[in-house]
A and B are shown apart, each in its own frame.
Chain A
Amino acid sequence: MGISTSPPPKGGRRPRGALEREILACLAEADDSLTPAQVLASLDQELAYTTIMTTLSRLHEKGVLRREPAGRAYAYSLADDPEGVRSIAVAQRMRRLLETGADRAGVLAHFVADLRPEDEQLLADLLAESRPASARDDDQRRSTHRGPG
């Protein structure tokens, strides 16, 4: 797919599967099962409720998620599938590979490698000065989110 010259609106056009992955990541991170409304709030993007609901439903049909009734909606969580999102096989195999340092050829590119000491301050400053007020509220909301259901 082509790379657009102007950035798309926030929450806009995604490559195939991107929304599914975001939702799955959201559910993986949550301690509890989530309703579509909770997923929508968690993702905090300009997405339609129906989009979230439909995607969750489709993922449930594929067996990736399980659900239980929660009021008028369903609450979704990751299914207990050893070959699903929380794949133990992957975890074990890749841990062995990474720990033994066998990936000298660098087949796997990690999102971040370890930091040099001089870079830590630079990045800390970057975070401090580029946080808009909404992001600070975000952090507060996240830390209080771990309440009952």
Chain B
Amino acid sequence: MWSLMWLPLAVNLVLAATGPTLARALHPRVGVRLLPGAMLVVASGTGVVLASLGFLALAQIPAVAAMGNWSPIALRATQLGPVPVEVTAGVAMLLLLASALRQTLHAGRLLVRADATCRRCGAHTHGLVVVEDDVPDAYALPTLPRHIPGHPPGGINGRIVVSTAMLRALSADERRVVLAHEAAHLAGHHHLYVQLAELAAAANPLLRPTARAVRLSIEREADEAAAAEVGDRRLAARALARAALAKAETSKQRRVARVALAATDGFVAQRATALLSPAPRPRRLLAAGLVLLAAVTLMGTAAAANRTDDSLDAAERPVTATALAALPALAG
């Protein structure tokens, strides 16, 4: 049933609207892995539907119809809407594809650079790098996946970079939280999930808020892992609060205009509140619902592709006598 082909577009709207709520409701560990996957399925499904609309319009251009041996009149009969709409769909799909490719190149470059930077640090520091800086900061530098025996050195998939200001601002317990948090990012390959979500959002701007919510889920998962390791969620919340306030204090002292600062994401308050609330519970029904949405989208994507196929087949012109006469020349 080709009307299924509208499903990806419908699910797209549903996911765009409910994505952030889903991310917050799902257990972080589940959300981090399921959401980017669902986003990619939906984004590519929408792309296929737009492409099929656009292609059927494109195939009516005499030059293209001649190449594919399709009858433009027969194709016009299969149109689902006016030609301008179909053309817009096709153009939109190309623009989104270009955006996705650009995103892939950009992220790929950064990931390669991060990997190269990792390899310049000693293999024996167990992944810790301390940089001299007045701004409290800590982040995880991921390596690219490798299959080398003996790697990763020190058992870690990258480097944990901490500034001296961050170390100074925190107590030993709180430092432990930060280190555990960043180690959790590396152990869980979170950077990959973030990039998958960003890719889906580049291909489908409606999913931007959902991509942002995936980032929050990733921070939440690392927070919960750190809290589990130190055995104290309140301590984890304190570490978060103290680090954030120390950073804010430094920014004020340097009188950096707010507009020039890196993204002010509002995550810290949500994360601290979540750590002080009861631990997240698995929401299996919700997870199953999301998987169902993705499955439904795949069905719709297949239906769209089939419809395009069928339309083109039905519009194929019968082989003419002229073409038959030309065959021996081709075979020669």
Q: Are A123 and B191 in contact (CB under 8 A)?
A: no
Stretch at the interface among B13-21, B91-99, B263-271: B263-271
A133 sits at the interface (CB 8 A): no
The interface bits of chain B over 130-156 (1 if a CB of A lies within 8 angstroms of the residue's CB, else 0) are: 111100111111100000000000111
Q: Which residue of A lies closest to B256 (CB)?
A: A114
Q: Are B141 and A108 in contact (CB under 8 A)?
A: yes
Evaluate whether A123 and B264 lie within 8 angstroms (CB atoms) in the complex, with A21-B179, A22-B179 already known: no
Which residues from B are CB-within-8-Å of A135?
171, 238
Chain A interface helix/strand/loop/mixed: loop
Q: How large is the interface on B (under 10, 10 to 19, 20 to 34, 35 or more residues)?
A: 35 or more
Evaluate whether A87 and B129 lie within 8 angstroms (CB atoms) in the complex, with A10-B232, A114-B261 already known: yes
B231 sits at the interface (CB 8 A): yes
Evaluate whether A29 and B238 lie within 8 angstroms (CB atoms) in the complex, with A15-B229, A90-B131 already known: no
Which residues from A are CB-within-8-Å of B181?
111
B306 sits at the interface (CB 8 A): no
B34 sits at the interface (CB 8 A): no
The interface bits of chain B over 199-237 (1 if a CB of A lies within 8 angstroms of the residue's CB, else 0) are: 000000000000000010011000011011111101001
Q: Which residue of B lies closest to A117 (CB)?
A: B258
Assembled-state Cα–Cα distance A124/B244 (Å): 10
Q: How large is the interface on A (under 10, 10 to 19, 20 to 34, 35 or more residues)?
A: 35 or more
Q: Are B219 and A10 in contact (CB under 8 A)?
A: no
Evaluate whether A63 and B124 lie within 8 angstroms (CB atoms) in the complex, with A91-B131, A107-B114, A127-B245 already known: yes
> How far apart are B261's CB and chain A's nearest CB, in angstroms?
5
Q: Which residue of A lies closest to B222 (CB)?
A: A109
Evaluate whether A85 and B129 lie within 8 angstroms (CB atoms) in the complex, with A111-B139, A126-B272 already known: yes
Which residues from B are CB-within-8-Å of A111?
137-139, 166, 178, 181-182, 240, 243
20 contacts between A and B (CB under 8 A): A7-B228, A24-B128, A24-B130, A25-B167, A28-B167, A29-B168, A63-B124, A83-B120, A85-B129, A90-B117, A93-B117, A94-B117, A98-B262, A105-B198, A107-B107, A107-B114, A113-B267, A127-B238, A127-B242, A142-B171
The 10 closest A-B pairs by CB, nearest first: A16-B155, A17-B126, A62-B124, A7-B231, A91-B131, A111-B138, A119-B269, A20-B126, A29-B167, A123-B241
New A-B pairs, 6, CB < 8 Å, besides A114-B263, A130-B237: A87-B122, A90-B120, A111-B137, A112-B247, A127-B242, A142-B171
Which A residues are within 8 Å of any B CB, using their own CB? Answer: 1, 3-4, 7-10, 12-18, 20-22, 24-26, 28-29, 42-45, 59, 62-64, 81, 83-87, 89-91, 93-95, 97-98, 101-116, 119-120, 122-124, 126-127, 130-131, 135, 138-139, 142
